[in-house]
Amino acid sequence: MTQIELRGVQKWFGSNQVIKDMNLDIADGEFIVMLGQSGCGKTTTLRAIAGLETIDEGDILIDGSAVQHLKCSDRDIAMVFQSFSLYPHMTVYQNIAFPLHATRTSSADADKRVREIAGVLRITDLLERRPSALSGGDMQRVAIGRALVRQPKAMLMDEPIGALDTKLREEMRAEIKRLHVRQGSTTIYVTHDQVEAMSLADRIVIMHEGVLQQVGTPEEVYGHPENLFVAQFVGSPVMNVADAKVADEGGKVRIHLDPADPGFEFPRELLSRLNGHAAGGLKVGVRPEGILVSHEAKAGYVPLEAQIIEPLGSHDIVDLKVGTGMIRARTPSGFVPKVGEKVHARIDPAQAHFFDTGSGKSLGVRL
């Protein structure tokens, strides 16, 4: 049973504040992924929880007691590093047994646990090798084994599969998920890869420039981003975002993304929900799958010209010309046969997001 809590955590490197008033509650057994660009403070936060960095203000609580003044060894937390940090002069067996020997576990007991964890990670036949003779994926397995072997209160992982190639990453991702389900230990996982975050996390913590942006399940973060940063950081391809001009046309409203475009139709109830942003300072965001595309002219659809087609196999990403700008739509593969073709498109009102231009905050409009 391990809960981790951050309360008002602040951290400076010189005059540069890397963690700004961070508050976070992590429940027992939860898989939390911290997501953000490099330099956003996610790794520093992780290292602060581990005890490798000090914090300047605030509290870090593990199971309700403050640990920010304790050494890492007294926090009983395991960590997997991006560089794996295997001990190069020891065999795989000795590496995994290190945390047990360091705390003077009897060698019979240690041996049993090392072999058990090696079995779980399927590295039993590598136990006598040295790390230098291992592949990247196996090194990662050993690093995870070393972290799991002493049944820590919590597991911290700092971009553990960032150094592997794409195929291996996918494999290891599934493996980490499997292990978490099996072990059920509270896990905090840091990554800059949003696919990794979406696929692994119970909840995602998105950080930007030391500030926590949003905490939520993958569905919440993807479907209801709280601000522009989250909206554009999560999801690939990136969400279309444009300044919006709202025109009231009686029965419905039209939103113009560009002075020259014919405008996209929205239901009239939108007007009352925009809290005065209809006059100006409004941005509209819509993911590529929120752009509905059709070959025939339909009510509410506007004709647009396809400018770039990116075939991705399972689907295509088509750039449609809107006035002088562009919006990207997701279509079935081969839907738009060639560049220059006219198609009809509309924005699905249920998948549109509205943001305040100044603060970048979502207006929380759900149509």
Which residues of this protein are in contact with another protein, per CB under 8 A?
50-52, 71-73, 76-79, 81, 83, 85-89, 98-99, 102-103, 130, 132, 146-147, 150
The residue among 101 and 295 lying less far from another protein, judged by its C-beta, is: 101
- At its nearest, how many Å lie between another protein and the CB of residue 64? 21
CB atoms < 10 A from the CB of 192, how many?
18
The residue among 38 and 132 lying less far from another protein, judged by its C-beta, is: 132
- At its nearest, how many Å lie between another protein and the CB of residue 192? 19
Give the span between the Cα atoms of 261 and 323, in whole angstroms: 5
Give the span between the Cα atoms of 297 and 66, in whole angstroms: 63
The residue among 23 and 135 lying less far from another protein, judged by its C-beta, is: 135
CA dihedral of 148, 151, 153, 154, whole degrees rounded to 10: 10
The residue among 85 and 124 lying less far from another protein, judged by its C-beta, is: 85
- At its nearest, how many Å lie between another protein and the CB of residue 157? 12
Dmax over Cα atoms in the chain, in whole Å? 81
Give the span between the Cα atoms of 174 and 48, in whole angstroms: 27
- At its nearest, how many Å lie between another protein and the CB of residue 209? 25
CB atoms < 10 A from the CB of 189, how many?
27
The residue among 51 and 218 lying less far from another protein, judged by its C-beta, is: 51
- At its nearest, how many Å lie between another protein and the CB of residue 79? 5
- At its nearest, how many Å lie between another protein and the CB of residue 82? 9
Give 267's strand partners: 252
Where are the extended beta strands (E) located within 257-324? 264-267, 282-286, 291-294, 302-311, 315-322
Angle value at C-alpha 177, between 174 and 182, nearest 5 degrees: 125
- At its nearest, how many Å lie between another protein and the CB of residue 81? 6
Q: Name every residue whose Cβ is closer than 8 Å to that of residue 306 and which is 6 or more positions away in sequence.
A: 318, 319, 320, 321, 336, 338, 339, 340, 341, 342, 343
The residue among 13 and 307 lying less far from another protein, judged by its C-beta, is: 13
DSSP string, 95-122: HHHHHHHHTT--HHHHHHHHHHHHHHHT
Rg over CA atoms, the chain: 25
The residue among 83 and 236 lying less far from another protein, judged by its C-beta, is: 83
